[in-house]
Amino acid sequence: MLFRRAKEITAHLEPLRRPSLSSNDIVAAVAARRADGLPVEPRHLPICVGAATLHADTCAAMPAKCSGVPSPRVRMLLESPDPTIDYRAFISHTVASMFWDGYALILLDRPAPLTTSVRLLSAAAAQYDPAANVWRYDGETIRNELVYTVTFDGAAEGGPVAPGVSPLQQCHRPLTMYGYAYRYLIDYFAQGGNPSSILRTTHPVTGERANELVDEWITARAQRRPAVMDPTISLEVPAASGELQATLSVLDVCAAEVGRMLNVPPSLLNAPSLGSGMQYRNVADELRRFIALSLNPTWMSRLESFFRTITGDPTVQLDPAPLLELYAETGNAQQGVTNVVA
């Protein structure tokens, strides 16, 4: 019953993958601004959205394979573990859930290793009861033998284990600094920024007269007419305080720090360090390093453990070869274009 209801519920839940920061996010952030100046939440920070998409899409591009000829049941689980979505969507959503929430909760139709299909459950409707050591989904208890928890930190995996710690929690301090810097930018531009020029007068003026002076000045500049000013009016151009540029520098530093803490090359997060000169072939090399030193020991190993458990086949692995071949082909084409231009 729960397995059927999970299919119906997850079809209407918010997708696990988050879109990039949009004008609506900025408007919502400004509207929700409080006097204490809270930082922008990690789920709305471009560096977090980009990192989540990078991890999810990269893992989803690697098919699950086993040595030898798989049985029909194993082949089905490796090609389409969740029949309601395709393989890439399943892996992408699973990794995204691990990234944002620290875990991915998966419902099995039968206890492993007799499983024939699974359902990825949304963390929004899942609750873990530590006292009873059980998971509940939409208020209904899930049998322990029918639940598999994939955790980011790898502290525990398999049955009814507690949610893990997400990478966002591990990167809390730099993300907070990043969030405050982004909040400053939002407030700065939402309030109109600093004026580029100031018209000063030695006599008091009403609001209406002030607007007339501004309109006259703007109209003259738009028509490229010479400035004719009353002796009582002077033009002042404020000196740049440097705060805006300093804030942008903070964003660059924080983005690089988040990449370092996630063990992701900044170039893959579109946040290269100052002075770096990344070329396409360098980025391709960075991708190989990212897969070997970051994805393989953490994200890929968690997914491989899941597939080995439900299939009962200890040889299951995620194959990065198709992804690396795609980058190699694209890199060769890019190099050919460079040679032609040269």
Stretch 82-103: mean pLDDT: 94
Q: Quick check: is 259 in a domain?
A: no
> 263 vs 115, 229, 257, CA distance in Å?
34, 59, 10
230 and 158, same domain (yes or no): no
Q: Residue 342 pLDDT > 60, yes or no?
A: no
- CATH code of the domain covering residue 114: 3.40.140.120
> 221 vs 224, 225, 233, CA distance in Å?
5, 6, 16
> What is the domain extent for residue 224?
195-237
Q: Which residues contact 137 (CB under 8 A, 6 or more apart)?
A: 2, 6, 9, 105, 107, 121, 125, 126, 127
Distance CA 39, CA 20 (A): 18
Q: Residue 21 pLDDT > 50, yes or no?
A: no
52 and 135, same domain (yes or no): yes
Q: Residue 107 pLDDT > 60, yes or no?
A: yes
8 and 125, same domain (yes or no): yes
Q: Residue 74 pLDDT > 90, yes or no?
A: yes
Q: Quick check: is 101 in a domain?
A: yes
Contact 19, 123 (CB under 8 A): no
18 and 123, same domain (yes or no): yes
Distance CA 254, CA 176 (A): 9
148 and 292, same domain (yes or no): yes
Model confidence pLDDT, tens digit, residues 146-172: 999 999 887 666 667 778 788 888 888
Distance CA 326, CA 251 (A): 32
Q: Which of 338, 342, 319, 231 is nearest to 281 (CA)?
A: 338
Stretch 274-290: mean pLDDT: 66
Locate 171 and state its tokens.
């990167």
Q: Quick check: is 177 in a domain?
A: no
Q: Which of 199, 130, 125, 212 is nearest to 163 (CA)?
A: 130
More confident position, 15 or 125 = 125
DSSP state of 156: S
Q: What total of structural domains would you count in the chain?
A: 2
Stretch 90-113: mean pLDDT: 94
31 and 136, same domain (yes or no): yes
Q: Residues 265, 267, 269, 275: is their CA dihedral positive or negative?
A: positive
Q: Do strands 103-108 and 118-121 pair parallel, antiparallel, or not at all (unpaired)?
A: antiparallel
203 and 76, same domain (yes or no): no
DSSP state of 16: S
